[in-house]
């Protein structure tokens, strides 16, 4: 663990810029990177608050981006949250724009599959490492173990993560912080709780916005952003129906290639919006589509981050958050197990995953170095 140092907004933004450039492997893998760098190594945010941020971030939109906003907001307010979320997204957006230019100019996607095959086992190890680290803090009682097991089982049954989190929150309210965390929670203060802010939907969509102008592009992706629940891959059928079948802005082949390009970036698969925006209006379209898709989630997460300090000190809110923490760990474990089949192939892949787990847990290697080793193993053909 590094020594504490003065934390500036510029330094924290630079950290998220680097995390955004290294975050291959999907949301849970990126959360693992954040947990390693921001909680264990640099102590930017306490473990329990980080877990709560990850849980709240799964309500709407990509939870890794929401977690970045939450951490930035907790340290530097609204501007800090916005800066950290933008810095985290920037590497993926820039890379998608570059790959989109190559694709639509030369009709080819650079072949990075061998290196990506080597990253798969390392990503699994990274997720398991994060689950172990978080679980040591969040899962200390029999009740918390039961909640973790319930979340893990529902995750393996492919339940919607939002539904699992809601169940965890309800059980947390029922069981109480004392049973879940092994310590009594304070009684609710006598003052009334803050009034929850409402997130207003846009009133109506003019028919003229059906054309693929910048305004129509922004409106289309803004509407999709309001139903962006359950992780990035939930967007694939929604965007396919919208962009291919209804609006015909992309053909089927372009859409599939856009999904592939999105998976070549370190960020969320939601940057598929960047690819579609570039196809229609170039760089301005890519930026407008990306901003519109992420805007509802960023607004909601800012509101949750703003009220978090007051809510977390209420007794009932502490019970709720105590129920969410082990559920998040269970969801992380479930994600690792569901990804194993596609990420690890054969005995060499198992060896790479075990070696990566050893380097991360026992020798405390930085995940970036372990990811580089995995990519090199794939590029050399050791992992297939």
d(CA 228, CA 53): 18
Rounded to the nearest angstrom, the gap between the alpha carbon of residue 80 and the centroid of all alpha carbons in its chain is 18
Give pLDDT tens digits along the chain (384 positions). 454 557 899 999 999 999 988 876 556 677 888 888 899 888 999 988 998 888 888 778 888 899 999 999 999 999 999 999 999 999 999 999 998 998 888 765 555 567 767 878 887 887 788 788 878 878 889 999 999 999 899 988 878 776 887 888 889 889 888 888 775 544 443 333 333 333 333 333 333 334 478 999 999 999 988 877 655 555 777 788 889 888 999 988 788 778 767 766 777 778 889 999 999 999 999 999 999 999 999 999 999 899 887 766 666 767 777 788 888 888 878 878 887 887 888 899 999 999 999 998 888 787 768 878 988 998 888 887
CB within 8 A of 382, min separation 6: which ones? 118, 348, 352
Task: Give the pair of three-digit tokens for residue 110.
Answer: 């650079």
Distance of CA 227 to the CA centre of its chain: 16
Residue 137 tokens, joined: 């803090």
Residues comprising the chain, all counted: 384
Task: Note the helical H segments in the chain.
Answer: 9-22, 27-34, 47-56, 63-106, 113-138, 142-156, 161-175, 177-181, 214-225, 235-239, 252-263, 272-312, 315-343, 346-361, 367-379
Nearest to 19 by CA among 366, 329, 377: 366
Give CA–CA dist 105/100, Å, rounded.
Answer: 8
> Is the separation of the CB atoms in 299 and 222 below 8 Å?
no
Taking residue 299's Cβ as centre, other Cβ atoms within 10 Å add up to 16
Q: Which pLDDT belongs to residue 312?
A: 67
The owner of tokens 């690890």 is 344
> Residue for token digits 């890379």?
95
Instruction: Select from 52, 61, 50 the least CA-distant residue to 27.
Output: 61
pLDDT, position 14: 94
pLDDT attached to residue 200: 32
Domain spans in the chain, listed from the N-terminal domain onward: 9-184+298-379
């Amino acid at each position: 663990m590094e020594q504490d140092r003065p934390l500036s907004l510029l330094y924290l933004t630079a950290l998220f810029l680097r995390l955004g450039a290294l975050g291959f492997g999907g949301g849970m893998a990126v959360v693992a990177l954040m947990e390693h760098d921001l909680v264990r190594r640099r102590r930017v945010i306490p473990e329990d608050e980080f877990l709560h941020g990850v849980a709240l971030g799964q309500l709407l939109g990509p939870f890794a981006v929401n977690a970045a906003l939450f951490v930035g907001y907790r340290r530097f307010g609204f501007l800090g949250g916005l800066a950290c979320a933008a810095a985290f997204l920037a590497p993926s957006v820039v890379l998608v724009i570059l790959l989109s230019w190559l694709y639509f100019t030369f009709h080819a996607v650079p072949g990075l599959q061998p290196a990506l095959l080597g990253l798969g086992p390392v990503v699994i190890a990274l997720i398991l490492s994060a689950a172990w680290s978080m679980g040591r803090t969040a899962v200390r009682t029999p009740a918390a173990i039961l909640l973790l097991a319930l979340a893990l089982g529902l995750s393996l049954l492919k339940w919607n993560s939002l539904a699992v989190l809601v169940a965890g929150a309800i059980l947390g309210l029922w069981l109480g912080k004392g049973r879940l965390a092994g310590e009594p929670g304070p009684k609710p203060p006598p003052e009334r709780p803050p009034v929850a802010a409402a997130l207003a939907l846009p009133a109506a969509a003019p028919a003229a916005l059906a054309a693929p102008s910048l305004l129509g592009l922004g409106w289309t992706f803004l509407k999709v952003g309001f139903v962006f629940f359950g992780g990035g891959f939930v967007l694939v059928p929604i965007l396919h129906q919208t962009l291919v079948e209804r609006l015909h802005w992309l053909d089927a082949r372009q859409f599939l290639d856009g999904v592939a390009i999105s998976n070549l970036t370190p960020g969320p698969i939601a940057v598929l919006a960047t690819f579609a925006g570039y196809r229609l209006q170039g760089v301005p379209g890519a930026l407008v589509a990306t901003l519109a898709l992420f805007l509802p989630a960023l607004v909601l997460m800012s509101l949750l981050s703003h009220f978090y300090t007051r809510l977390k000190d209420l007794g009932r809110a502490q019970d709720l958050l105590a129920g969410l923490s082990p559920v998040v760990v269970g969801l992380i474990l479930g994600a690792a197990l569901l990804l194993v089949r596609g990420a690890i192939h054969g005995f060499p892949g198992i060896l790479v995953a075990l070696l990566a787990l050893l380097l991360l847990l026992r020798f405390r290697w930085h995940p970036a170095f372990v990811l580089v080793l995995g990519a090199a193993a794939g590029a050399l053909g050791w992992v297939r």
